[in-house]
Amino acid sequence: HGIGAVSAGGKTKLLVDYASSPRSDILDYLFKPNFGAALQVLKVEIGGDSPAADGTEASHMHNNSDENYHRGHEWWLMKEAKQRNPDIKLYGLPWSFPAWLRNGTRKPLTDPFRLASYVLKWVLNANAVHGLHIDYIGLWNEQPYSIPYIKALRKMLDDNGCETTRIVAADAAGDDMWGIVDEVAKDADLDAAIDVIGVHYPGTVSPAGAVELGKTLWSTEDFATFNDDYGAGCWAKLINRNYVNGRMTSTLAWSLAD
């Protein structure tokens, strides 16, 4: 599945404002096959009107009657990536959700079908407005997951012609990053809903239970030391060890630009 990188938290916003020639060169080095990084997966934030990392990315729905699929720079970035490599895989993940989905709390998962509808609209209009097929969709960056939400999202994707958009679960980090594995092992419907088990900073290893599931395993956010020649060697070593030790077939760098 290859090597990828993450654009989120406003990290790539300034790239839009570069002069045309150096900006094009940077994009070539990132996305052109057999040239530079030659990235094969691009993961972007689904903006949520809340700060994350270095900035806030705008939601496509500021409220439940508002829809705008031209806000933010991630649409532009995905199209630039596709222009250079039509085969690159696109992956969307929310870092946060607008307040109206949270009912004034920090709990957007209480209404799984409403949340699934919000994400579905982003997926559908990526294609309808921008001609972008979203290959993978995540749940909620480094936050608790909801099994009813995962199942609701899979159903809504399937019911709306998005069967080929695969769910990645659960973009978790920390001591319980692999927690979803035990849930999948005992729930056939959940197993059917999820295609990829994705974790952050796994230390190049995955538990036996994850491997035994037979699902695709990814390191969906990872990092290797510095952005220099020494760091490049460490990054290569990390990619290889994630596969050799952890059977992870894709490693995504945090972040695409810094």
Q: Is 67 a catalytic residue?
A: no
* Helical segments of the chain, H only: 20-31, 74-84, 99-102, 112-130, 147-159, 179-185, 188-193, 208-212, 229-244
Residue located via tokens 């630039």: 80
Which residue out of 45, 57, 74, 221 is catalytically annotated?
221
Residue located via tokens 């109206």: 100
Got the DSSP string for 122-167? HHHHHHHHH-----EE-S-TTS---HHHHHHHHHHHHHTT-TTSEE
Rounded Cα–Cα distance for residues 226 and 231 (Å): 4
CA angle 5/23/255 to nearest 5° reads: 20
Which residue out of 142, 163, 183, 212 is catalytically annotated?
142
Rounded Cα–Cα distance for residues 1 and 40 (Å): 7
**Cis upstream peptide for 170 (omega within 30°):** yes
Q: Which residues are catalytic?
A: 142, 221
